[in-house]
Amino acid sequence: MSKHHGWSRKEGLSSEPMVRMVKPWKGQNEFRRQLEFVENRAKKNPIKGRCRCDFCDQGSANYTLSFQGVQWSGALHHAVLEHNVRPSTQFRNWVYDMY
């Protein structure tokens, strides 16, 4: 797995950055629902210390999630829900495929 801005992906997936949108993005609610489905099946990997949200400084997840060779921050759900962060197209497509 390779890391990019705190989010890891299978080798070969794009390193396209996540984007913070001003308003909710098309398909955001469906993606959140499908991400939750995948997160419920993923393995939680604890990390030391407490993470803070880059946008609001709120305490955030102190774990990463991994499933089918892909690893991502446990804080992703918060970032999508509270800050309209849109993950890369490749990560969103991977979540859709796992659903």
- Give tens-digit pLDDT for 39-51: 999 999 998 877 7
Residue 9, CA distances (Å) to 12, 20, 70 in order: 8, 19, 5
Answer yes or no: is 8 within a domain. no
pTM of the predicted model, to two decimals?
A: 0.78
Answer yes or no: is 2 within a domain. no
- For residue 83, what are the domain limits? 21-98
Answer yes or no: is 16 within a domain. no
Answer yes or no: is 46 within a domain. yes
Report how many domains make up the chain: 1
Q: How many residues does the chain have?
A: 99
Per-residue tokens: 19: 């984007």
Instruction: Tell the burial category of 33 from Cβ atoms under 10 Å away from its Cβ (0-12, 13-18, 19+).
Output: exposed
Average pLDDT over residues 22-50: 92
Answer yes or no: is 5 within a domain. no
Most confident range, picked from 1-5, 17-21, 46-50? 46-50
